[in-house]
Amino acid sequence: MKKHILAASLGLLSLAASSAYADIVVAIAGPMTGQYASAGDQIRKGAELAIADINAKGGVLGQKLKLEVGDDACDPKQAVSVANTMVNKKITFMHGHWCSSSTIPASDVYNEAQIPMATVSTNPQVTERGLKNIFRIMGRDDQQGLVAGTFLAEHFKGKKIAVVDDKSAYGKGLADEIAKAMEAKGAKPALRESITAGEKDYSGLVSKLKSAGVEVMAFGGYHTEVALILRQAQQAGLKLTVMGGDTMTNSELVTAAGPTADNVLFTFAPDPRKNPAAAGVVKKFRDAKVEPEGYVMYAYAAMQLFAEAATKAKSTKYADLEKALREGSFDTVIGKLGFDAKGDNKLPGFTVYQWKGGQYDYVKK
């Protein structure tokens, strides 16, 4: 009988010991399936390498990180379901979601559950609602819209410019900001149109653009629709230049649009691949046959951010993490990160890029 009691006691002790050193569960969420799945793939690859690197150095506070992955397919209802699932999995930190229309409702769930999150979603409402758990590691649409609209007004004087959006929180928000910035510079849009994302035929829009004599289209939305519009414009004999936002950083655009992708300009933060401090991580990705374009390095940076904040706080409790994130300054592969009272990046930057021959780079001023 004593043997049984001793065995049971030892079993409980080992269980207690293992739970004391259990993994810290962190998560990512975004479109892992659906038409924007290539963005989800970027996020996954970035987070996986970051976690492997952090764990190889001993983890966080002596514990290893374990990654959970949520797929919202950029659908707001699915995003809320993913958020609730992640709460039940007792995650300590979330990097997500990707589409602003998913991030906004999901963030309410994480906020209530007291889970801090880092996001690249750019719609101003992500941080304007007063939630304390959100930290945006990218700039906002009112910042990139200003850069895009000003560039269009100054570089395409005398050309007819249309402003088009896909009706999403991200797309409409960005298009409105571009139009506002253009008008401030005296360049009134020749057309203001909306499309429905996910359709395959945009010939109606192309006809409107052509008959109005439009040569440049500012677009609020995602790369998949831009590729279709460019191909259909080419078929209609319309040479169209497109100015998009940060979601144009996806090489799937080149695959889908072919040579017409060279007509795409877009705004994005300074290219982290050019950050000398990130050279070692960039090499690791490339050695693994992963090009760290778009959101790859942002996902890596989000995990660095969590690890640094937890280390500074000496804790993974929400109150300690939130305080550390709000007050701290963090060195990441995308540069130094710090946050204002709303949770916005203190040093946002947007510049204009252009696709050429399957690569994107800064537009030469």
Asked whether the CA dihedral 139, 341, 325, 338 is positive or negative, the reply is positive
Look-up of token digits 């970027």: 42
Look-up of token digits 């810290």: 24
Q: What is the pLDDT of residue 3?
A: 42
Tell the burial category of 47 from Cβ atoms under 10 Å away from its Cβ (0-12, 13-18, 19+): buried
Beta carbons within 8 Å of 359's beta carbon, 6+ residues apart: none
Residue 345's pLDDT band (cuts 50, 70, 90)? very high
Kindly write down the DSSP assignment for every residue of 185-213, as one continuous string: TT---SEEEE--TT-S--HHHHHHHHHTT
* Rg over CA atoms, the chain: 22
Question: For the chain, what is the largest distance between any 2 Cα atoms, rounded to a whole number of angstroms?
Answer: 93
Report the DSSP pairing between strands 161-165 and 191-194.
Answer: parallel
Q: What is the pLDDT of residue 21?
A: 57
pLDDT tens digits along 234-269: 999 999 999 999 999 999 999 999 999 999 999 999
Pairwise CA distance, residues 178 & 244, whole Å: 10
Q: What is the mean predicted confidence (pLDDT) over 11-32?
A: 69
Asked whether the CA dihedral 247, 250, 252, 258 is positive or negative, the reply is positive
Cβ–Cβ under 8 Å, residues 354 and 318: no
Amino acid at 268: F
Asked whether the CA dihedral 95, 251, 297, 346 is positive or negative, the reply is negative
Pairwise CA distance, residues 328 & 339, whole Å: 8
Please name which of 239, 16, 27, 241 lies closest in space to residue 115, comparing C-alpha atoms.
27
End-to-end CA distance of the chain: 83
Look-up of token digits 């203190």: 346
Please determine, for residue 315, whether its predicted confidence score (pLDDT) is greater than 50. yes
Beta carbons within 8 Å of 222's beta carbon, 6+ residues apart: 35, 36, 166, 168, 171, 197, 247
- Average pLDDT taken over every residue of the chain: 94
pLDDT tens digits along 32-63: 999 999 999 999 999 999 999 999 999 999 99
Q: Where are the alpha helices (DSSP H) in 266-352?
A: 279-287, 296-313, 318-327
Pairwise CA distance, residues 56 & 50, whole Å: 10
Please determine, for residue 79, whether its predicted confidence score (pLDDT) is greater than 80. yes
Containing 272, the helix (H) or strand (E) segment is none
The DSSP bridge partners found for residue 241 are 216
Q: Report which DSSP code applies to 48.
A: H
Containing 78, the helix (H) or strand (E) segment is helix 76-88
pTM: 0.92
Q: What is the pLDDT of residue 365?
A: 63
Q: What is the pLDDT of residue 364?
A: 82
Please determine, for residue 18, whether its predicted confidence score (pLDDT) is greater than 50. no
Amino acid at 343: G
pLDDT tens digits along 139-163: 999 999 999 999 999 999 999 999 9
Residue 5's pLDDT band (cuts 50, 70, 90)? very low
Look-up of token digits 């589409």: 99
Q: What is the pLDDT of residue 22?
A: 76
Cβ–Cβ under 8 Å, residues 44 and 28: yes
Pairwise CA distance, residues 220 & 197, whole Å: 11
Q: What is the mean predicted confidence (pLDDT) over 70-99?
A: 98
pLDDT tens digits along 117-132: 999 999 999 999 999 9
Q: What is the pLDDT of residue 33?
A: 98
Pairwise CA distance, residues 301 & 271, whole Å: 13
**Residues 38, 39, 45, 50, Cα dihedral to 10°:** 180
